[in-house]
Every structure is written in C-alpha cells, then in structure tokens.
Chain A
Amino acid sequence: MNRDVRMTWLVARRELRQRGRTRVFAISTVVLLVAVALGVALPAILSRHAKPERVGYVGDVTAAATQLIEQAGRIAQTRVTVVHEPDAAAAEAALRSGDVGVVLVPDREVLVKQVPLGTGSGGTLPNVLAQLAGLGRLFQEVPAAAAAAAKGIALPVRGLQPPSSPLGNRLTGLFTVVLVWVLISVYGSQIALGIGEEKSSRVVEVLLAVVRPVQLLVGKVLGIGLLALAQTAAMVAVFIVAGFASGSSLVHSTAIGIVLAGGVFMVLGYAFYCTAFAAAGSLVSRQSDVNATVMPVQLPLIVAYALSYTVIYANGANAFYHVLGFLPPTAPIAMPVLYAAGDVPAWQVVVSAALCAAGTVWMARVAAGIYSRSILRTGGRIRLRQALRREPAEAR
C-alpha cells in the first residue's frame, strides 16, 4: 500500500474504532433510527387505523347506492360505511349528533354539518360524493352521456406555469436537507473537537513527528466521515424499510433522482465543511474555545438551511436562492432543495456539484495550510490572518 494512503488509513481507522465504540455513538444511532422509523411509519399506520367514515343514505340502500358511496370513498382515500336513514329529518338529526359525517340525499343534495371554507371542489369525501352522485343523475337523464363517459369525457388540463413538483418530492428534498444539516453540524463539531483535543493534549507533537499534517487531517475527516456515512446509510435503510412496510406515501412518491442528488451533495457538503471545521479546530488551544471558532464557518450553511423551508413550502425559489444553489458553501443544502422543488433542471445540478467539488478541493488545501500552520501553536486563540500567513508557526 502506498505510504500516504497507509498513514491516512491508520489515522482514519483509529477514529472509526474509537468513536464507533463509544456509548454516545451507539445511543445516538439508536435514537436517530427510531426517530426515522417512527417519523415514516406513524402517519401511515395512524391513517390506516382511522375509523371509517359513516355515510348516511336517505331511502333504501340499493347495491348501486352502496357501490357509488364506496367508489367515492376510494377516490377520497377514506374508508366508508353506509348507514340507512329513513328520511331527511332523521338524517339531519344523525348528522348533528355526529352519528354520521356526511349524508347523501339521492338526486337532491349532499349534507354535511358545516361546509369548510375554501375547499372548493377538491377531493374530500363530500365533494367526491356530490360529483359521483351528480354524474349518476346525468347518466339517467341523458343516456348518450353514459356512452360518452365510457369513452372518456375529460378535457385536457393545461397549466400556465411549468408544473410544480409533487409534495412527495418536496418532502424527500426536506428529508435530504435535514440529513445534510444534521450530518454536517454533528460530525463537523466532532471533528473540530477531536482536533482541539489532539492539540490541547499535545499528542499532536508525537503524531507530527511521524505523520504529515495533511495525512492527519484527511485521515480524521475520512474516519469520522465513514462513520457518518454508515449512520446515514442505516437511516436511509430504515426510512425505506419502514416506509414500505407501513405503506407510507413518503416512500412511494420518492424520486430516485432526488435521493441521488441528495447523496452526492451530502458527501460534498460533508467534505467541504469538515475540512473547514478541522482548520477551525486547529486554531484553538482549549477545547472550550472550539464552538466559538466553528460558529462563523457554519453561517452560510445556516442561511441556506433556514431559507430552504421557504422554497419547499412556497411556490418556487427566488433568484437569491438560485444563486445560493451554485455557491459551494451553500450548494450542499440549496441545490437538493431546488431540485426537489422542481426549480432547476438536472444539468444545473451537475454544474453545481462540479463547482462544489472544485470548491471542496480548494477548501481542503486552504484548510490543510491553516491546520499545519496552527496545530503546533499554543497560547491564545490564533487569528485567521496569522494562520493564513506563510510564516511558519511554532510556539518556540
């Protein structure tokens, strides 16, 4: 094995072994996996166990009537039970008492307790019921219409704006962004703390007598990165398994492209930020100073993360967020969001990933430079300008 690779791997393996074995890691992994499983499966399980909607039918319940109501239930994704109501007065009473949720008075109307504002003609059970029952009456009165309906009578629907991405995609995008965010902030601070520990315990001097600073830096980022990757893979696996097992709509509507883009940017984002975090960690002499140094490094990420919610829940991103999607510090979060929301074509994702990769290489170089210049300096916190200077830097 090439010596550079061997040394880097030895450093990485130590990180893997030491951190993978800690109780904190075991507990946090279990907690995260359980949280993912519950987050995916619970809504699906709850909706399946929801009580069927009781639908009153005024008059004798014929087979055709039952079929119509059940069809409406299927379209509205609600389980239904048909209840016979002798007359309109009894049906109203049952509605008021909550015994039934909706009443169909054949050929006349659909009764509910209260019409919610602004639901329009959407896919709620009363609306679907009203439309189906209306169609039934139309077919009775105009026999030709029934024939037309069999051939398909719907007109094409044309949108003035490009289609927006479905909610499922946006949710997958959100899931990706949260993962990237959690990954970078949790493991990034671990890297900074780990480097702070090596510096403050002075073990780094023994290490640097035989390991190059770059090997030490890359090994650390790699080792912790592999651990993070394993944890993420487990989370994604649980997401998929729990999703399919519970029949969650989150999984069914997941677009593979979004997951792929998310994965690429997760690795890029991790590499970009974690080398930066390593450099930040090397600036301090005491571990307690690490957080204060890491904070400014995290700022672009925080901005992109906070704004990502507006993109996911609003219709389309503004120009500013599009710009963020192409800047290496913000792209790891902004680009998966833009892609998931359907705001950018795939080629732009590729361009952004390439920019981000180039930025990461640049960042790694700068970080390695800062790191090797400051890792052996003790005393107070080192200012960035000092660390960037070419002047070699030892305490004595």
Chain B
Amino acid sequence: MSSLELELDGLRRRYGTVTALDGLTFGVPAGQVFGFLGPNGAGKTTAMRAIFGVASLDAGEIRWRGEPVGEQARRKFGYMPEERGLYPGMRLLEQIEYFATLHDMPAQSARAAAKHWLGRLGLRGREDARVDGLSHGNQQRAQLAVALVHDPELLVLDEPFAGLDPGGVDDMSGILAERAAAGVTVLFSSHQLDLVEDLCEAVAIIHHGRLVVAGPVADLRRGDRPRLAVRVAGDADGRWARMAGADLGDIEAVRQDGTVVISLTRGADSQRVLDLARAAGPVEHFSYEARRLSEVFREATGASVGQAEAEHAGRTAGTAAGTAGTAAGTGTAAGAAR
C-alpha cells in the first residue's frame, strides 16, 4: 500500500450531538478512480470538505503524498462540492479563468486552459453566456470545468452523478477515467452504490462516519466467500443443494427458476459443488456471481442502504426534537425554581 497518495487518518468530527466522522481511516491509491460510498448522512461530505479545510476536524489528519495537507497542496487539488455554486451573473469563460488564476495559473495559460475545458465539455460557443442563463446540465459541466481547469493532481468530486441523465453519467465517468489514465487521483462520492460500482476501480464504503469496507471493487464484489449460482434441470426447489454440508457453503437463496445461490465456505472447492449438482441431474447453469456493492454494505452493516438513510433522517429529526424537549425542560425547571 505504498502507492497511497491521499490518506485520511482517524478523522473525527462532532456537531453538537451528531457524530459526522468517527475515526474514519482509508487511503486512495494514485491514478485510480476511487469511489467514496455510503448512505446519505454517512459523513462523506464532511470528510471531503475536510480535505479542503472547509470543514474543521476535532481529530485526525489528512495527508497528501505523506505530508499533512496544507494550502500549498490544495492549490493542486480540484474540487466539485456537493452544493454546486458559481457566480450567477459572471460570464462563463471569465469565471473558469478566474478560478484557474486562483489556483496559481498565469493569466495566459488560465485563459487557454479555460477555453480548452469549455470545448472539451461541450460548452464551446457559450463562453460569454452568464452562468445563470445556462441549463442545469451545462451548469454542472461548468462546475466540472472549474474543478479541472488548473490540471489538478487530485480531483475530489462530491456526488458528481447526482442529477445527471444517463448520457451525462457516461460523459462524467468517461472524463473521470480519462483523468485517472493521465495520472490524476480521482476521488468521488456517491450514495448510489450500485450505480457506480462499474465506474471505479476501488472504493471505500462508510457508515456512521466509520469505514465499513475498502478495497478493489472486484475483490469486494467477490468477497471472501465467493458466491456460486447453480441450476440443475428438473429440480425447481434446489433440493440437491441441501445435501451439501456446511463445509462446502451456505444456501443464500433459491430463485424462482430453481437456481441455488451458495456462498462458498472459505477455502472450499467449487468443483465439489459441481460434482454434487451433476449427481442430481444435468447442470444447466454454473457460475460465480458477483455481489452488488449494496449487498456488500448490507452484509457488513446488517442494514440496507435505504434503511441506513431512513435511520439517519430519523436521527436528525430526533435530535431536533430532543433539543426542543431539553429547552422546554429547562424552562420548566427554571419556572419551578422561581
């Protein structure tokens, strides 16, 4: 793991009674598209803001190439925050150029780079348009141009796929892959785990401000207990599979068409499963099956992404109610004391 460029180490942050980050630790390797995943409210935005010093931390450290991140390093970072924002009345080209100069680009190359990215993102001809006159999609592209214009070494994008149509998702993922191929470290967040599992090489999945799992997507989807899907002709209930002992694996599910889903016991031989199946009848289907990332999340946390988000929403509302209750209680106590 020596090639980790960006390291988040033991990040902690509390807002009142809400814990946003609870010792979050993971690393992002160089030149990869890295997904930072988790349900809404897991602490992704706080962590990304902390990279830019826009959110402060109670504890922990963020390192870039082994050094704590400071102003110097941040000038080489590109950022697309969750809440998009540009100057509404400013012309597009000037705006992109302005952000380039803020990232230390000389005026000449700032203009050239701004033009290049506007062209690359399909905004050629809109250079003089005011940002508030652009369509929603084009505003998203402009925001991306701001993050890219100074040719950053690290690209941090908070929910870049939110609100994009399928074509927009393709464009965005194409650009992220292209940047990674050019050696840029790309970190993006999403709460739609399954939507982005094909777009990134590695992910970190977090929940309650803590890391749940991290690693290459392929490894996570296979898991340490690979999953087999086997169908034997004429056996709609998958009875044959019950003969297999726990030393081989556990039956996760039997599908409508009789396909049995088995998670193999660690170190078990998949060919013994095939033998069992063949003994029961002609084998119509036999394959490894990858898990969805949402399943990986559920296996690790015991809750679905949706449940986690509902719980988060409830917790936030509960906090507000709790505060109100406390205030009322204090009032009564004061009244009694008087």
Contact = CB atoms under 8 A, between A and B. Distances in A.
Count class of interface residues, chain B:
20 to 34
Interface residues of A, number: 23
Interface stretch (B79-87, B180-188, B217-225, B280-288): B79-87
Given A206-B146, A392-B56, A18 B85 contact: no
Nearest to B88: A201
Interface in A199-235: 201-212
12 contacts: A197-B88, A201-B85, A203-B85, A206-B79, A206-B86, A206-B99, A206-B146, A209-B52, A394-B15, A394-B46, A394-B56, A396-B15
Interface string B42-72: 0001100100111110000000000000010
A206 B15 contact: no
A216 to B, nearest CB: 10
B20 interface: yes
Given A202-B85, A205-B49, A209-B79, 4 more contacts: A201-B87, A202-B84, A205-B85, A376-B55
Contacts of A74: none
Given A10-B98, A14-B98, A202-B85, A209 B77 contact: yes
B317 to A, nearest CB: 15
A203 B86 CA distance: 5
A7 B49 contact: no
A396 B20 contact: yes
A211 B104 CA distance: 11
A206 B82 CA distance: 10
B35 to A, nearest CB: 20
Interface in A177-204: 197-198, 201-204
Interface in B71-103: 71, 74-75, 77, 79, 81, 83-90, 94, 98-99, 101-103
Highest count of chain B CB atoms <10 Å: which of A10, A197, A396: A396
Contact of B87 (A10, A203, A210, A211): A203
B124 to A, nearest CB: 23
Interface string A64-95: 00000000000000000000000000000000
A211 B102 contact: yes
A396 B79 CA distance: 18
Contacts of A208: 52-54
Contacts of B75: 210
Contact of A396 (B45, B94, B146): B45
Interface in A121-138: none
A211 B86 CA distance: 15
A198 B89 CA distance: 11
A376 B99 CA distance: 19
A396 B45 CA distance: 8
A202 B56 contact: no
A394 B55 contact: yes
Given A197-B88, A396-B20, A10 B46 contact: no
Contacts of B94: 17
Given A10-B101, A202-B83, A396-B45, A209 B53 contact: yes
A210 B81 contact: no
B83 A210 contact: no
Contacts of A197: 87-88
